[in-house]
């Protein structure tokens, strides 16, 4: 807790003959973070991939393209034996591919035919209501044929030119089929030009358009049926092979990682050197395993870590399981550096605390708790799980604060005797108990705490929480700085802030009359000088930030109140404005109630979540946290679908 895992730099040296076994063993134990070898001016060269690398990656590419084509998703399946898998991999992969190829080829040809039919139908559509066989449009010596669209009825015009004509006109699409003698062609063409005649190509086919279209329809139906059955058989293939694809993707990925490992390793003609990091408590296990698997033919040694190398140490969190989900919040910001305090455990406390303080409502806590468990169960994904766990922690805190505040979906649970008479609570007979007078604003502290009636007190209280949280940040910053640059630097950079604060507090006490103001002022000036020395001009500039940072914590009450007001407005509209009208209005009232609270539930994740997060990131982290550590990613693979 509070510190990343301790790492040891280890160098593994051996003869090339045992490189294969070494890489295998390292991959299996999955704890060694390989530091990639950089070839620049050195007698050592980067190693060559093992012989099978090409073939393995070829198969992997083949398999993955099939997998993405079929849309295979990760899922829970019984683990398969790797030996069996390897034995049948080639044959099964070939069979899968040929089966799939055959099906997709057929499907493609059908789809092309469908497209052809579509375009043919489009060509025929203008002629559909003209009952002339398509073959009658062409092949005349003394007749001219005009087929196309015009802007209006031309029958009167044409009869003015000639009597020997045959006209078909579709008034809907303005399509004409006009047959005239050849010698009249030019005059007719001129006349048609006035009517904005646009020629349409007549498809070179036989039969009337409507007949052909009917044929097309029936052919299309058959093809669609065939495609559906092909799709079904492809999804059958997916069903049958998905376990195999998932498992063999895994063994191939593992094999490909192993075979490409030499690319990270320094090699000479006969030896290899693997440089990297291992968690200190695993060092002995790694050494023992390596020695036994290679019959003691590799040599493992610890290396001293110099100060410059500290930047390169990969960082692995070292938190108890219950705190782990909050590492997601850390990663969103930045992974801690190796020598830095890892504040995950502190966030584990303060994030749900702030969230609960803001929301503090039994009703929403229960709804969101159910939602979080539901989502966790429904989506079994590694990305969503920690987020849902965080949400669950937050809701537990919300529930506790909800009981403290006595709120349920914006309704107060207890009745309150106030200046405006008695405000009834949701639970009959549950009376608010007066505890004592608050020193601020003359407000009465009660149980349950009615936030709407304690605004002044809570604003001051939340600002004080802010001061405490910020000072915790300065203390952590002090520890970090002391580790890095010694006590003096830490005192000037971080301690000075605390001195300044003490000065301000004493000055305020002096103002009230407890002690001379000069004491506070003097301490403030000392702190100010220290700050300027420690942080330079940046320090005094950031000084007012102290005020705005601690006032920023008043959001703990302000955002909470806005959520209460939204909820109670929904309740007001539903049960005091609509409900009393009776009849159908009752249904409407319930709809408003459900919709309003659904909206506020969504807001209840976003608003308190973001604000609690921001208080960590902006107000807290800026006091001590740097981040930017390298991720510890051990050479290995976590098997999900296979076992040896």
Partner 1 sequence: MVGEEAIMDPAGLKAIGAGLAVGLTGLASGIAEKDIGAAAIGAMAENEGLFGKGLILTVIPETIVIFGLVVALLIS
Q: Which residues sit at the interface with partner 1, rule CB under 8 A?
A: 332-334, 455-456, 459, 548, 551-552, 554-555, 557-559, 561-562, 610-611, 613-614, 617-618
213/416 with CB nearer partner 1: 416
329/490 with CB nearer partner 1: 329
Nearest to 500 by CA among 524, 519, 521: 524
599/610 with CB nearer partner 1: 610
Query: How deeply is 603 buried, as exposed, middle or buried, from its count of CB atoms within 10 A (0-12, 13-18, 19+)?
Result: middle
476/615 with CB nearer partner 1: 615
332/584 with CB nearer partner 1: 332
* Residue 58 half-sphere exposure toward CB, CA atoms < 13 A: 7
Per the omega criterion (within 30 degrees of 0), is the bond before 448 cis?
A: yes
Shortest Å, Cβ 457 to partner 1? 12
274: left (phi over 0), alpha (psi -120 to 50) or beta: beta
**Cα–Cα distance for residue pair 469/448, rounded to 1 Å:** 25
94/334 with CB nearer partner 1: 334
Shortest Å, Cβ 557 to partner 1? 8
177/556 with CB nearer partner 1: 556
341/615 with CB nearer partner 1: 615
**Cα–Cα distance for residue pair 572/80, rounded to 1 Å:** 60
Shortest Å, Cβ 44 to partner 1? 32
330/578 with CB nearer partner 1: 330
Instruction: With residue 38 as reference, give the H or E element that holds it.
Output: none
Q: Which residues are registered as beta bridge partners of 437?
A: 444
Shortest Å, Cβ 410 to partner 1? 17
Shortest Å, Cβ 407 to partner 1? 17
637: left (phi over 0), alpha (psi -120 to 50) or beta: beta
Shortest Å, Cβ 173 to partner 1? 48
Shortest Å, Cβ 46 to partner 1? 28
The single-letter DSSP state of residue 537 is T
**Cα–Cα distance for residue pair 301/275, rounded to 1 Å:** 10
* Residue 37 half-sphere exposure toward CB, CA atoms < 13 A: 23
Nearest to 199 by CA among 119, 136, 144: 144
210/554 with CB nearer partner 1: 554
The single-letter DSSP state of residue 505 is H
Q: Which residues are registered as beta bridge partners of 348?
A: none
Shortest Å, Cβ 449 to partner 1? 16
Shortest Å, Cβ 330 to partner 1? 9
363/609 with CB nearer partner 1: 609
Query: How deeply is 184 buried, as exposed, middle or buried, from its count of CB atoms within 10 A (0-12, 13-18, 19+)?
Result: middle
The DSSP secondary structure of 209-269, one letter per residue, reads HHHHHHHHHHHHHHHHHHHHHHHHHHHHHHHHHHHHHHHHHHHHHHHHHHHHGGGGSEE-S
- Pinpoint the alpha helices (H) of 438-495: 455-485, 487-490
**Cα–Cα distance for residue pair 444/457, rounded to 1 Å:** 9
Helix (H, G, I), strand (E, B) or coil at 9: strand
384/518 with CB nearer partner 1: 384
Shortest Å, Cβ 609 to partner 1? 11
Query: How deeply is 492 buried, as exposed, middle or buried, from its count of CB atoms within 10 A (0-12, 13-18, 19+)?
Result: buried
**Cα–Cα distance for residue pair 16/8, rounded to 1 Å:** 24
72/458 with CB nearer partner 1: 458
With DSSP H G I counted as helix, E B as strand and the rest as coil, what are the percentages for the chain, rounded to 5?
60, 15, 25
Rg (CA), the chain: 39
As a residue count, the chain comes to: 644
Residues 6 or more apart whose CB falls under 8 angstroms from that of 516 comprise 510
Shortest Å, Cβ 618 to partner 1? 5
Shortest Å, Cβ 458 to partner 1? 9
Shortest Å, Cβ 420 to partner 1? 13
- Residue where the block lists tokens 């990270």: 264
Task: Kindly state the tokens that stand for 185.
Answer: 């062609």
C-alpha distances in Å from residue 505, one per residue of 469, 471, 472, 501: 16, 14, 17, 6
494/611 with CB nearer partner 1: 611
Shortest Å, Cβ 631 to partner 1? 10
**Cα–Cα distance for residue pair 253/82, rounded to 1 Å:** 13
1/334 with CB nearer partner 1: 334
Shortest Å, Cβ 551 to partner 1? 7
Nearest to 5 by CA among 367, 335, 374: 335
Shortest Å, Cβ 350 to partner 1? 16
The single-letter DSSP state of residue 619 is I
Contact 263, 49 (CB under 8 A): yes
174/611 with CB nearer partner 1: 611
């Amino acid at each position: 807790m509070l510190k990343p895992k301790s790492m040891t730099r280890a160098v593994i040296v051996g003869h090339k003959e045992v490189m294969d076994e070494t890489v295998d063993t390292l991959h299996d134990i999955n704890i060694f973070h390989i530091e990639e070898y950089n070839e620049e001016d050195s007698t050592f060269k980067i190693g060559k991939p093992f012989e099978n690398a090409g073939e393995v990656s070829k198969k992997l590419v083949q398999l993955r393209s099939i997998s993405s084509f079929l849309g295979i998703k990760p899922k829970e399946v019984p683990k398969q034996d790797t030996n069996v898998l390897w034995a049948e991999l080639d044959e099964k992969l070939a069979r899968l591919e040929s089966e799939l190829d055959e099906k997709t080829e057929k499907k493609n040809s059908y789809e092309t035919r469908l497209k052809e039919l579509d375009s043919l139908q489009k060509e025929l559509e203008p002629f559909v209501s003209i009952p002339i066989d398509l073959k009658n449009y062409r092949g005349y010596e003394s007749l001219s044929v005009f087929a196309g669209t015009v802007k209006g009825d031309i029958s009167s015009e044409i009869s003015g030119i000639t009597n020997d004509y045959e006209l078909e006109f579709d008034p809907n699409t303005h399509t004409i089929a006009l047959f005239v003698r050849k010698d009249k062609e030019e005059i007719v063409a001129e006349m048609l030009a006035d009517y904005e005649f646009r020629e349409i190509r007549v498809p070179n086919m036989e039969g009337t358009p409507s007949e052909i279209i009917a044929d097309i329809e029936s052919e299309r139906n058959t093809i669609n049926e065939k495609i559906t059955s092909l799709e079904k058989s492809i999804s059958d293939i997916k069903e049958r092979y998905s376990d195999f694809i998932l498992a063999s993707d895994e063994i191939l990925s593992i094999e490909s990682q192993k075979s490409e490992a030499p690319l990270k390793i320094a090699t000479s003609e006969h030896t290899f050197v693997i440089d990297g990091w291992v968690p200190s408590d695993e060092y002995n296990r790694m050494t023992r395993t390596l020695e036994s698997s290679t019959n003691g033919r590799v040599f493992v040694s610890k290396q001293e870590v110099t100060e410059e190398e500290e930047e390169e140490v990969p960082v692995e969190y070292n938190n108890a399981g219950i705190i782990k989900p909050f590492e997601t919040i850390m990663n969103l910001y930045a992974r801690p550096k190796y020598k830095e305090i890892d504040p995950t455990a502190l966030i584990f406390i303060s994030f749900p605390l702030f969230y609960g303080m803001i929301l503090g409502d039994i009703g929403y806590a229960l709804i969101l708790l159910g939602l979080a468990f539901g989502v966790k169960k429904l989506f079994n994904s590694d990305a969503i799980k920690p987020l849902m766990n965080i949400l669950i922690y937050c809701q537990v805190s919300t529930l506790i604060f909800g009981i403290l505040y006595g709120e349920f979906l914006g309704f107060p649970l207890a009745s309150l005797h106030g200046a405006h008479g008695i405000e009834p609570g949701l639970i009959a007979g549950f009376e608010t108990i007066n505890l004592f007078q608050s020193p601020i604003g003359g407000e009465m502290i009660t149980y349950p705490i009615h936030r709407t009636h304690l605004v002044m007190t809570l604003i001051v209280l939340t600002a004080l929480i802010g001061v405490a949280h910020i000072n915790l940040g300065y203390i952590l910053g002090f520890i970090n700085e002391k580790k890095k640059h010694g006590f003096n630097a830490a005192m000037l950079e971080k301690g000075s802030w605390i001195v300044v604060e003490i000065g301000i507090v004493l000055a305020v006490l002096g103002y009230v009359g407890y002690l001379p103001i000069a004491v506070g002022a003097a301490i403030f000036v000392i702190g100010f000088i220290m700050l300027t020395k420690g942080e330079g001009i940046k320090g005094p500039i950031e000084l007012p930030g102290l005020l705005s940072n601690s006032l920023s914590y008043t959001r703990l009450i302000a955002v909470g109140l806005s959520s209460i007001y939204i909820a109670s407005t929904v309740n007001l509209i539903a049960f005091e404005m609509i409900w009393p009208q009776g009849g159908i209005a009752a249904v409407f009232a319930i709809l408003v109630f459900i919709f309003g609270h659904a909206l506020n539930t969504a807001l209840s994740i976003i608003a308190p979540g973001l604000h609690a997060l921001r208080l960590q990131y902006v107000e807290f982290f800026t006091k001590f946290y740097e981040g930017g550590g390298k991720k510890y990613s051990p050479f290995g693979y976590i098997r999900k679908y296979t076992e040896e």
